[in-house]
Structure 1
Amino acid sequence: MTDTSIPRADRSPEEDSAPTAEIEADVDEADETVVDKAGEKKAPGDGDLFRQSEIAADYIEGLLDILDYDGDIDELVSGGRPVVEVVGARLESLVGQRGATLEALQELARLAVFRQTGTPSRLLLDVGGYRANRRKELAAVAKNAVEKVKEHGEPVRLEPMSAFERKCVHDVVNAMSGVESESEGVEPNRRIVVRPVD
């Protein structure tokens, strides 16, 4: 049986302290190489990635049970990364304002994977189709910024975004000619600047 318990305050710091910096996966990076506990670099195979999505799905299912929420959970591998999708009614509170709760749940699920596999995960969690809808919104934001840059020839700074949101914007901008994008600042105020290519 998979341990889906939430970290508790009565556990020792050693039990609950996973090296967050090591398991944090910056989705702005295209490199999917991970470093295991022995410090050796390896690229996870589809079997490893699907196992990660299964572990995360079990963890999220445990959370849903605790919260008494109903939802269908799908685990899959997409774009070279493990993905867990939760679909159902009354799941808005699991997304939170601008996806903040969803990001926190994703980090907890990544920690659950790390605890069982010892390998950092680039797991992507989606609830109620939030990420798919947000991706469409961000594509429109990116295209609008590109149009302004091309029209005025001046850089455009976008509002602060999460790593997932920045990745969505970068993907759209990189597919267009005459412009480039880069992230600047530090979390939680890290943002994208779209500028003309010199």
Structure 2
Amino acid sequence: MSFVTDTTNDLDAAAVARDEDKDVDQAEHRDATAEADADLADANADDEDDEADEETDEDEEADEDEGDEEAEDDEEADGDSEAKAGSGSGRAATDLFRESEIAADYVEGLLDILDYDGDIDELVVSGRPVVEVVEGGDGSGKRLQALVGQRGATLEALQELSRLAVFRQTGSPSRLLLDVGGYRALRRKELGAIAKNAAEKVKEYGEAVRLEPMSAFERKCVHDVINALPGVESESEGVEPSRRIVVRPTA
């Protein structure tokens, strides 16, 4: 007796199994591809986020730079920004008066050397040490004007020397203000007129007006006047000694 084995069903089952395995492989391949695509998309998204963060950082840095420049102009508008570092707005009045005393002693010694007569006042005004040299009542006013110089250039130099004298004794930079013969008060009035005239031109023609180069003290005087007027604004441009003020319409 012979037995005939029907292998058809077995072959069909094997084929089905192979097809199922193939389908599983294809599904796994599709899953792997989808996962890779998702990872690539995430990576691209991360790169875009990084680029966006970098751009944001660059924008923030640019804003900070502009803010620093504006802050420098604001400091200049507060007067003589070069000597302000480390001065300390909360410094005690006794320390400020001490600075004016040191500067007064220095100026007095200088007057003795030059054989100039003048009375010296030691003050603290608006949280700032001040030394004023005034006429002594003997007609010394004209001689004192030599300490002012053209456009106050000599006065500015003497002020820096006085600040250095203070620094040598205190170890701290000083915002000392030195005046001779009431020059600064007179110059402040002149600059007020210049600032108002520039503001009128700006309002009339709608164009920016550039003033002549000025010292830090003079720029402060102009800023103070312009800031109090409607419709105009001011900022400084350039570098010393050619730094000047530009008055323009308010944006």
TM-score of Structure 1 vs Structure 2, range by shorter chain:
0.7 to 0.9
**Deviations, residues 68-118 of structure 1 (Å, cap 9, x unaligned):** 000000010112110000012220110011101000000000000000001
Counting strand residues as a fraction of each chain, which structure ranks higher? 1
Task: Tell me the distance in 2 between the aligned counterparts of 1:114 and 1:96.
Answer: 24
**1:5 matched residue in structure 2:** none
Does the alignment pair 1:84 with 2:137?
no
- Verify the 8 A CA contact 1:34 1:42 in the aligned structure 2: no
- Corresponding residue for 1:28? 77
Equivalent residue number for residue 128 of structure 1:
181
Task: State, as a whole percentage, how many aligned pairs show the same letter.
Answer: 76
Task: Confirm whether residue 61 of structure 1 aligns to residue 108 of structure 2.
Answer: yes
Within-5 A mapping of 1:102-181: 102-181=155-234
Aligned equivalent of 2:25: none
Q: Please provide the CA RMSD for this pair.
A: 1.8
Match of 1:195 in 2: 248
Structure whose residues are more often helix by fraction: 2
- Contact kept? 1:33, 1:43, Cα under 8 Å: no
Give the whole-Å Cα distance in 2 for the aligned partners of 1:183 and 1:42: 23
- Unmatched runs of 5 consecutive residues or more in structure 2: 1-74
Alpha carbons 1:149, 1:155 under 8 Å: kept: yes
Structure 1 residue runs of 4+, over 4 Å off?
30-34
1:185 aligned to 213, 220, 238, which one?
238
- CA displacement at 1:34 relative to structure 2: 4.5
Q: Larger RCO: Structure 1 or Structure 2 (Cα < 8 Å, ≥ 6 residues apart)?
A: 1
Q: TM-score, normalised on structure 1?
A: 0.81
Structure of higher CA gyration radius: 2
* Match of residue 153 from structure 2: 100
Q: Any unmatched runs of 5+ in structure 1? A: 1-25
Post-superposition offset of 1:165: 0.2
Aligned equivalents of 2:247 and 2:193: distance in 1? 14
Aligned counterpart, 1:8: none
TM-score by length of 2: 0.64
Please state if 1:49 is matched with 2:96.
yes
Cα distance in 1 for partners of 2:248, 2:144 equals: 38
Question: What CA distance in whole angstroms lies between the structure 2 residues aligned with 1:68 and 1:160?
Answer: 33
Partner AA of 1:150 in structure 2 = K
Query: Which SS does the other structure have where 1:143 is aligned?
Result: helix
CA displacement at 1:29 relative to structure 2 = 3.8
* Equivalenced residues, count: 169
Answer whether contact 2:84 2:173 (CA < 8 A) is retained.
no
SS at match of 2:77: coil
Distance of 1:188 and 1:96 partners within structure 2: 16
